[in-house]
Amino acid sequence: MTDIAELTRLMIYHGFASTGVCPSRQQMSAQLVVPPAAIDSAMNELQEQRHIAVDDRGEVVLAHPFCSVNLGFSVMGRETLWWGGCAWDSFAIPHLILDEPSVLVATTCPGCGAAHAWIVGTVAPPAGEQLAHFLVPTARIWDDVVHTCANQRIFCGEECIDRWLLATGNERGSVFDLATLWRLAEHWYEGRLGSPYARREPSEAKAYFQSVGLHGAFWGTEPLPEKEGFDYSI
């Protein structure tokens, strides 16, 4: 990336990390002492390289694991409240922000509307019989990343997953327990608040998924018959 793009990326991520809010383009322009056009160019570069996702107005919606809109999860620290982009991102925030030893992750079950909350820390997975259901395979995460994240949810159990699938007409994705979700989130975003940030190569991502107990075509450890290649750039 260009230097301005990397500095802009750091401002976005550190802004989210410290306040729960993305700094505005005007704030970034002023702090970096560059013209607004330079920030616009940097944001385009960051979006093209999938460090961020923006809406129709060009505002940042996702800078994983942070989100600027409600996609179903709130994450409460001691002094900061975040929107979690998904189950994966919400469980990842305490692992990324080192001065937050634990957070309160809250959501509702898409199948029945029941409220759920867990204290998620960095030592061990939270207790609970709930199940995570991820709808979109890793190969298609960035086809519509907001849709992908909005459908990485936590359900009461199999009955609620089946009810939701029937109501929405979706096909079953990947289902796993909270301990696996916690392991998936534990190290995935390491280094994202530092510079330079190097995204995992596909082979590294595949090995990571396997190491936390996630296997099969959904996770790219076996080929999808209708699409070759896998995209792990989140």
| Cβ-contact 38, 28 below 8 angstroms | no
Radius of gyration of the chain (CA): 18
pLDDT by residue (tens digit) across 55-92? 999 999 999 999 999 999 999 999 999 999 999 999 99
User: Are domains 3-63 and 73-80+87-219 of this chain identical in fold?
Assistant: no
- Tell me the torsion sign for CA atoms 135, 139, 143, 145: positive
HSE-CB of 75 using CA atoms within 13 angstroms: 34
Mean pLDDT of 168-173: 98
Q: Say if residue 227's pLDDT is above 60.
A: no
Q: Is the peptide bond before 126 cis (omega within 30 degrees of 0)?
A: no
pLDDT at 224: 56
Distance (Å, whole) CA 74 – CA 76: 6
What pLDDT score was predicted for residue 230?
56
Of 1 and 63, the structure prediction assigns the larger pLDDT to 63
Q: Six-digit token pair at 123?
A: 């030592």
Per-residue model confidence (pLDDT) at position 229 = 55
* pLDDT single digits (tens) 14-31: 999 999 999 999 999 999
What does the DSSP 8-state code read for residue 91? H
Q: Residue holding tokens 């975003």?
A: 189
pLDDT over 70, % of the chain:
95
Residue 102 has pLDDT above 80, yes or no: yes
In CATH, 73-80+87-219 is 3.30.450.410: yes
- Is the bond leading into 223 cis (omega within 30 degrees of zero)? no
Angle between helices 3-19 and 36-48 (to 10 degrees): 80
Confidence at residue 233, expressed as pLDDT on a 0 to 100 scale: 56
Mean pLDDT of 144-173: 98
Question: 10 Å Cβ neighbour count for 34?
Answer: 16
The reported pTM is 0.94
pLDDT for the residue 221 = 84
Residues in Cβ contact with 87 at an 8 Å cutoff, skipping those fewer than 6 apart: 73, 107, 132, 134, 152, 153, 154, 181
**Degrees (nearest 5) of the Cα angle 216, 218, 224?**
85
How confident is the model over 102-129, as a mean pLDDT?
98
d(C-alpha 60, C-alpha 46), whole Å:
10
Distance of alpha carbon 195 from alpha carbon 209, whole angstroms: 24
pLDDT bracket for residue 201 (50, 70, 90)? confident
| CATH number given to 3-63 | 1.10.10.10
Domain boundaries, the chain: 3-63, 73-80+87-219
Determine the pLDDT at residue 225.
Answer: 56
